[in-house]
Amino acid sequence: MTEQNEDLKSLDELAAEADEIEAAQNGGMTAEEVEALVAERDDYKDRFVRALADAENTRKRAERDRREAENYGGSKLARDLLPVYDNMNRAIQAISDEQRETSAAVIEGIELTMRELLNVFQKHGVTLVKPEVGDRFDPQQHEAMFEAPVPGTKAGDIIQVMAEGFLLHDRLLRPAQVGVSSTPAS
Q: What does the alpha-carbon distance between residue 177 and residue 131 come to, in Å, rounded to a whole number?
A: 9
- Residues of the domain holding 19: 2-69
pTM, entire model:
0.66
Do both 59 and 84 map to the same domain?
Answer: no
Q: Which residue has the higher pLDDT, 105 or 33?
A: 105
Do both 88 and 169 map to the same domain?
Answer: yes
pLDDT digits (tens, 9 = 90+) for 88-99: 999 999 999 999
Of the pLDDT bands very low, low, confident and very high (cuts 50, 70, 90), residue 1 is very low
Q: What does the alpha-carbon distance between residue 23 and residue 58 come to, in Å, rounded to a whole number?
A: 45
Closest to 141 in 3D by CA, of 175, 166, 169: 175
Do both 31 and 80 map to the same domain?
Answer: no
Q: What does the alpha-carbon distance between residue 114 and residue 117 come to, in Å, rounded to a whole number?
A: 5
Q: What does the alpha-carbon distance between residue 90 and residue 51 come to, in Å, rounded to a whole number?
A: 58
Do both 51 and 116 map to the same domain?
Answer: no
**What total number of domains does the chain contain?**
2
Domain boundary among 14, 35, 69: 69
pLDDT digits (tens, 9 = 90+) for 4-39: 455 566 666 766 776 676 666 656 677 888 888 889
Do both 97 and 174 map to the same domain?
Answer: yes
pLDDT digits (tens, 9 = 90+) for 78-90: 999 999 999 999 9
- Whether 186 is in a domain gets the answer no
